[in-house]
């Protein structure tokens, strides 16, 4: 139960008391529950969408859903995406890139990256209506956090000094990803049935490609890149679902 609570307190800003005694093993052991946290976030997004749809048009609902997810996570992942964009698109060497990513100041590429992801999420949500809308709102945060477990479990940490993601990598086990995958499939397959399979195939391959390229460039991954992976794969999940539902 402690590890599940830790996964919620790390990934969200939901008002849940943090356990008083926490070990590095507890932190790493919380990763298998990341998809469940995504499902919880998705459930709140369903409520936001339901409320907004009774008073405003779908554009407002879509925007409220995207803003709501940012608020629920404290901007943790979108911040990681923007920092990663600043570093990767600086075209500097590895050490300087990591330095730029750690800098609290935000550059032009970071702003552009954040804006692009937010706008694309809103746009893809616009094409997702009817009976698939609620399953979609539950699925895309779930899969986004599932991809983070893959990145943590299979790739080294890029920094030699401490960082937000380091405790997760130090004691992570590859079976954590297996557990996260089983939990993710259990909660998502009933939502879209057979349509869930192509989603996992596309997102699984895309996650591998993105994590591989980032790790090759940086010599590993960081907390910022975990956020970037989550945000990118959430957006891609919406893109795949919108395509499936239109065909």
**Residue spans of alpha helices (H) in the chain:** 2-11, 24-29, 34-53, 58-72, 76-88, 94-102, 108-126, 133-154, 166-170, 174-192, 196-218, 223-246
CA–CA gap between residue 241 and residue 128 (Å, rounded): 8
Residue environment code for 85-106, b if the CB has 16+ CB neighbours within 10 A, otherwise e: bbbbbeeeeeeebbebbeeeee
Most distant CA pair in the chain: distance in Å? 51
- pLDDT at residue 58, as a whole number: 93
pTM of the model: 0.94
Q: What is the pLDDT along the chain (247 residues), one digit of tens a residue?
A: 888 999 999 999 999 888 778 887 888 889 999 999 999 999 999 999 999 999 999 999 999 999 999 999 999 999 999 999 999 999 899 999 999 998 888 999 999 999 999 999 999 999 898 899 999 999 999 999 999 999 999 999 988 776 666 778 877 889 999 999 999 999 999 998 888 999 999 999 999 999 999 999 999 999 999 999 999 999 999 999 998 765 5
What angle in degrees, to the nearest 10, is found between the helix axes of 196-218 and 223-246?
A: 150
Phi, psi of 157 (to 5 degrees): -85, 135
- pLDDT at residue 164, as a whole number: 67
Classified as helix, coil or strand, 221 is strand
The upper half-sphere exposure of residue 47, i.e. CA atoms within 13 Å in the direction of its Cβ, equals: 9
- pLDDT at residue 245, as a whole number: 62
- pLDDT at residue 86, as a whole number: 96
Cα–Cα distances (Å) from 183 to 4, 39, 120, 147, in that order, read: 13, 10, 28, 13
The vertex-175 CA angle with 170 and 178, nearest 5°, equals 130
Question: Are the beta carbons of 48 and 69 closer than 8 angstroms?
Answer: no
- pLDDT at residue 162, as a whole number: 67
Cα–Cα distances (Å) from 79 to 187, 216, 231, in that order, read: 27, 22, 10
């Amino acid at each position: 139960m402690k590890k599940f609570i830790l996964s919620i307190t790390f990934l969200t800003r939901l008002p849940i008391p943090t356990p008083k005694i926490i070990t590095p093993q507890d932190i790493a052991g919380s990763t298998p529950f990341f998809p469940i946290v995504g499902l919880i976030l998705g459930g709140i997004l369903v409520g936001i969408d339901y409320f907004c749809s009774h008073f405003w048009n779908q554009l407002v609902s879509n925007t409220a859903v995207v803003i709501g997810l940012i608020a629920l996570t404290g901007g943790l992942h979108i911040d990681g995406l923007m920092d990663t964009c600043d570093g990767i698109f600086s075209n500097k060497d590895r050490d300087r890139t990591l330095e730029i990513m750690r800098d609290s100041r935000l550059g032009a590429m970071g702003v552009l990256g954040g804006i692009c992801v937010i706008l694309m999420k809103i746009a893809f949500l616009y094409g997702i209506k009817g009976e698939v809308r609620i399953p979609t709102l539950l699925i895309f945060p779930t899969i986004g956090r599932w991809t983070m477990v893959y990145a943590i479990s299979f790739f080294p940490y890029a920094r030699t000094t401490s960082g937000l993601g380091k405790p997760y990598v130090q004691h992570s086990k590859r079976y954590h990803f297996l557990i996260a995958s089983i939990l993710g499939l259990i909660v998502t397959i009933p939502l879209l049935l057979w349509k869930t399979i192509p989603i996992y195939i596309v997102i699984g391959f895309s996650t591998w490609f993105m994590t591989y390229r980032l790790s090759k460039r940086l010599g590993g991954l960081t907390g910022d890149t975990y956020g970037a992976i989550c945000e990118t794969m959430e957006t891609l999940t919406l893109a795949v679902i919108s395509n499936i539902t239109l065909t």
